[in-house]
Structure 1
Amino acid sequence: MDLENQELESGRSGSFGRLSCASCSRRHSLSLSFGLSSQVNDADEDVAVAEAGDIGDRALNSNTWNSSGRSHSSLDNTAGNRTVVPVQEESLSPHSVDAIVQSGDEIKDEKEVPWALERITCLLSLAVFGILGVLTRYCLQKLFGPDIIGATSDESYMYLDLASNVVGSFLMGWLGVVFKGDITKVSDQLAIGLSTGFLGSLTTFSGWNQKMLDLSVKGQWVFAGLGILLGMFLVAYSIIWGIRTAKGFKWLIRRSNIRKSFSSLFYDYSKCISTFMVILLLMLGLLWGLFGSLEKKEFKTGSSEAQLFLACMVGPFGVWIRWFLTRFNGRGLGKNDKLKWMQFGTLAANVLAACVMAALATLKKAVQTKNWDTVASGIQFGLLGCLSTVSTFIAEFHAMRESMQPWRAYAYATTTSMVSFVLGTLIYSVPIGII
């Protein structure tokens, strides 16, 4: 097949739509599912996988230049308008995350803003959207849990957080893949807040791992294994479904010319980062004040609402820690950057959260008081639920699976699951048997 005549898919906009290339100024076509040309070398593929998920606070720097100093080529994945322009260092915005080249007259002209202002705005965006993610996860637990629909429960391989993980993975296909570039035109901080903050907090790997540990401790190993495999299958296909439906919706937007009017509507707003920071600061203060007062009233009751209010207060700290850890994605180990394809930042966040989650579960068994149960459960649901993520993990898995070396996806998923489960078993199962 003539590669020059392949159709350039539109689903790879945003951070998914930018790949690194040192020896070429033009790309072969990329499919919606991150298919890569055979001429793209292994290092470029590693960069693409890293940017498929999250690169932490490196997103606020000139991340279109990799560690070796090579410039990246940016491309706009707009069907029918292939534009590929080598990005020069002096033309980069210090906080650009996604593709710089746009189609037609939609080139984004940003003014350079102070580093501190940019960083503070991003942290506030992560915190506010992280709290919204915690609230949404709680609502989905209640909706699909035993009290209403009854599809999930604590005693089944259909664990309570399954619905939020599936929904978050589906939305990752929309907000983190297809429309990521369009959201970035409005605000880089908004894009980071929605993908890393909201979707990262809506989904939780540590909660998933802990429920499988609970089943294994009870001797239900078959159900524990089934829960891991079924959960992986559902979230993997949820992001595919999300990408495909978002691609169809984006096609409708192009046909109706809504995209251009929407972009121009928020064009001036994207420059008002100071206003955006003030709005986020007020929202975060309001949310913390509200949940703090509610927690003070409900704490002694030990209710699920008391746990939720505490979770909303500590959730932003989990998001911030994860955002910092993911700066190690795509960097590898040692001077030679070995295993650069392994996303160590996301791996560390998920494993760390799973281990601390298991430790708190052990302490809850040992210290059976109402107040401690509220504190431990609030930290588990909020801080640890936001520290771990399925949406970013599955986006990275999907990028690896559709790359030239798909075995890496399964190695990455197996490593994350096995390390978390084994360490969690050592922390949780063994002490519980002794107690």
Structure 2
Amino acid sequence: MDRGTTDSETRQSGSFGHPSSASSSMRRHSASFSAAVPFHIDDDIESESVSEAGDIGDRALHSKRHGESGKFQFSIGHASQNGVAAPPPDDTMLSTYGYGSRDLEALNTISPVSPLPEEIISPLSTDAIVCSKDKKQGSKKELPELLDYVLCLIHLAVFGILGVLTRYLLQKLFGPEVVGLTSDQNILYLDLPSNMVGSFLMGWLGVVFKADITGVSDYLAIGLTTGYLGSLTTFSGWNQKMLDLAVDGHWVFVVLGFLVGLFLAAYSILFGVETAKGFRWLLTRQKERSGSGIFSSRVNWRVDSCRRHLAVMMVFILVLAALWSVSGALLKEEFSSGSSAAQLWLACIVGPPGVWIRWFLARLNGRGLGRAGLLKWLPFGTIIANVSAACIMAALSTVTKAVNTQNCDTVVSGIQLGFLGCLSTVSTFIAEFNAMRESNHPWRAYAYALITICFSFGLGTLIYSVPVWTKGYE
């Protein structure tokens, strides 16, 4: 989960201590709030937390099973304002700041951005703040480990396919065939609208309302953010369009394309956060007038029993089977035509494995290099997913130009749209970028962006541009 941090001069004050448990990706930090104590966070913990701003993959499930993460202790000290003691945070306040009272491991699986510095309270765990009602009901019975993984993979697959479909529709809507805003020949590349829309929705689903979504189902939160938004946005498609421009000698367009793409995606997620906060404020006012808390009825919809989980799993299995069956049938019918529709249906079939691989690679985020954990602030899982997808897409594009047949173009385009589009992501990349930009070391955000873009574009040039130039491919 995102732990955006501030310096000692922020308006919010507090302190973070080191956890007593073993080092893990989901550390809980002892915290206390005092008007006289400056906000401070250990640099090593901050580096790890910022690197995990986007996704930590299946480490959430592993940590929950094996108790790798310690317990976070939250206490209200002598914080006061005008001589009045500050009240303890309630569910509404925590939800307003984007923190729920569910497992932090599940929340960490989402792909969020860091909240604004003045909004940060502290990362809270289920075991830290437990209302008396929850204590009386007792702790929730854990699901079998296999069922945990199956539920995650099924949600990721279904929402990943929906992300592919949405991205394809946005390409067609804003492309030359309809609006004509984007094309392959300028800096407004075809996947720019989907990257902007996905980043905007991340502000809603991954930041402001993430606690409310998790309050219904942890797996729904994973599916919507890591699955849907991660597949709606694509880094490899963005990189490949810049390679195509470079091949044609439009180097200025390449530089502007990366800068404009990064700028618009970064501000889309901020705009999403601000609009979602405004909408939440309206909902809060309405609920206050009616005398009930915001989303107070969500408990009735909570999927928190084995029976409900099994029911949801069966529904999602049927949906996934239907999506794959329809895609397979339509692919068989359209394949010989070589149309974009055939590429879409193939993309829907091969998309889910890309989401799964990206989810598993995310376990590398926050780990650093070697036993010493060097460069923990770099999310290596996201870097590997984006760079590898960009390189594979460049290689397949080279194959397409070398073979130059209709069937090869259909297969390659389907794999690029589906598998590689889902393997790479801009929403997570931008989430981590913003988390670093709001940390105590904002230069890391630009270093991270530069590393990802330079490696992807540099290797893509060797794999794609150089063969095209030397072989004279059209």
Give the counterpart of 1:97 among 107, 113, 118. Answer: 107
The match for 1:263 is 298
Sort the Cα spacing of 1:180 and 1:277 in 2 relative to 1 into closer, same or farther, 3 A: same
| Superposed displacement of residue 96, structure 1 | 3.8
| Superposed displacement of residue 434, structure 1 | 2.1
Sort the Cα spacing of 1:95 and 1:42 in 2 relative to 1 into closer, same or farther, 3 A: closer
Give the Cα–Cα distance (whole angstroms) in 1 for the partners of residues 217 and 192 of structure 2.
Answer: 31
The match for 1:25 is 31
The match for 1:12 is none
1:32-58, Cα deviation, whole Å (9 max, x unpaired): xxxxx7511112212332332100111
The match for 1:288 is 324
Give the Cα–Cα distance (whole angstroms) in 1 for the partners of residues 95 and 301 of structure 2.
Answer: 24
| Superposed displacement of residue 314, structure 1 | 0.2
Residues 1:45 and 2:69 are matched in the alignment: no
Matches within 5 A, 1:8-19: none
Residues 1:251 and 2:281 are matched in the alignment: yes
Give the Cα–Cα distance (whole angstroms) in 2 for the partners of residues 65 and 269 of structure 1.
Answer: 20
| Superposed displacement of residue 253, structure 1 | 1.9
Amino acid at match of 2:183: S
Cα root mean square deviation, aligned: 3.1
1:329-381, Cα deviation, whole Å (9 max, x unpaired): 00000110000000000000000000000000001100111111000000000
Matches within 5 A, 1:71-150: 71-73=71-73, 96-97=106-107, 99-100=125-126, 110-150=140-180
CA contact (8 A) 2:303 2:309 kept: no
| Superposed displacement of residue 259, structure 1 | 2.7
Amino acid at match of 2:31: S
CA contact (8 A) 2:436 2:445 kept: yes
SS in 2 for 1:274: helix
Give the Cα–Cα distance (whole angstroms) in 2 for the partners of residues 300 and 311 of structure 1.
Answer: 16
Identity of paired residues, percent? 56
| Superposed displacement of residue 252, structure 1 | 1.9
Sort the Cα spacing of 1:304 and 1:19 in 2 relative to 1 into closer, same or farther, 3 A: same
After TM superposition, the score normalised by the length of structure 1 is 0.87
The match for 1:156 is 186
Give the Cα–Cα distance (whole angstroms) in 1 for the partners of residues 255 and 10 of structure 2.
Answer: 45
Give the Cα–Cα distance (whole angstroms) in 2 for the partners of residues 28 and 367 of structure 1.
Answer: 67
Give the Cα–Cα distance (whole angstroms) in 1 for the partners of residues 103 and 274 of structure 2.
Answer: 31
Sort the Cα spacing of 1:212 and 1:60 in 2 relative to 1 into closer, same or farther, 3 A: same
After TM superposition, the score normalised by the length of structure 2 is 0.80
Amino acid at match of 2:309: I
Aligned residues: 411
CA contact (8 A) 1:20 1:73 kept: no
Give the counterpart of 1:174 among 197, 200, 204. Answer: 204
| Superposed displacement of residue 251, structure 1 | 1.7
| Superposed displacement of residue 250, structure 1 | 1.4
Give the Cα–Cα distance (whole angstroms) in 2 for the partners of residues 307 and 125 of structure 1.
Answer: 23
Whichever of the two has the greater Rg, that structure is: 2
Sort the Cα spacing of 1:6 and 1:94 in 2 relative to 1 into closer, same or farther, 3 A: closer
The match for 1:224 is 254
Amino acid at match of 1:97: L
The match for 2:363 is 327
Runs of 5+ consecutive residues of structure 1 not aligned to the other structure = 9-17, 30-36, 84-90
Runs of 5+ consecutive residues of structure 2 not aligned to the other structure = 1-6, 15-24, 76-88, 109-124, 288-292
SS in 2 for 1:56: coil
| Superposed displacement of residue 28, structure 1 | 7.5
Give the counterpart of 1:338 among 337, 351, 374. Answer: 374
